[in-house]
Amino acid sequence: MSISVGLKGRCETVVAQENTAAAVGSGLLPVFATPMMVGLMENAAVNAVSDHLAEGEGTVGTHLDVSHDAATPIGMKVWAEAELTAVDGRALTFAVTAYDERGPIGKGIHHRFIIQNEKFMAKTLRKLENN
């Protein structure tokens, strides 16, 4: 399979007490938390390319530059959309936008990198070894 500019992904949820700023510690109010919005954006990017990766490959997030522009109350549906805008070897760049039922709530750029899952995990788990 191949990764090409223009691939799109989406991820959605409903704002509940568990994903509010008050619950996750990113603020004190019962509104959709910025870290949860970022998670939706990352998931949308993953969804854009996951069916186009070779066996054993995955992607990891490496950079986010996003704004959270509008609050969303408990009970409202929220979603993120990602579009792959650049491919440079194994480096991927996405335009990401988050929405609620009233319109856009956030936007930005997200970078991911294609990795070999087993190799990546082996390297990561070596951190647990004694020096």
pLDDT digits (tens, 9 = 90+) for 72-124: 999 999 999 999 999 999 999 999 999 999 999 999 999 999 999 999 999 99
Task: List strands edge to edge, sheet with 77-88.
Answer: 8-14, 77-88, 91-100, 103-116, 57-68
Mark whether 34 is an active-site residue: yes
pLDDT band at 2 (very low <50, low <70, confident <90, very high): confident
β-pair partners for 59: 114
**Cβ–Cβ < 8 Å for 34, 71:** no
- β-pair type (8-14, 57-68): unpaired
Tell me which residue of 58, 62, 74, 63 sits closest to 114, measured CA to CA.
58
Which among 13, 18, 20, 34 is annotated as catalytic?
A: 34
pTM confidence score: 0.95
Per the DSSP assignment, residues forming a β-bridge with 16 are none
Out of 42, 59, 81, 110, the active site residue is 42
Q: Is 42 a catalytic residue?
A: yes
State which amino acid sits at residue 29.
Answer: L
Q: Say which of 20, 59, 68, 72 is annotated catalytic.
A: 68
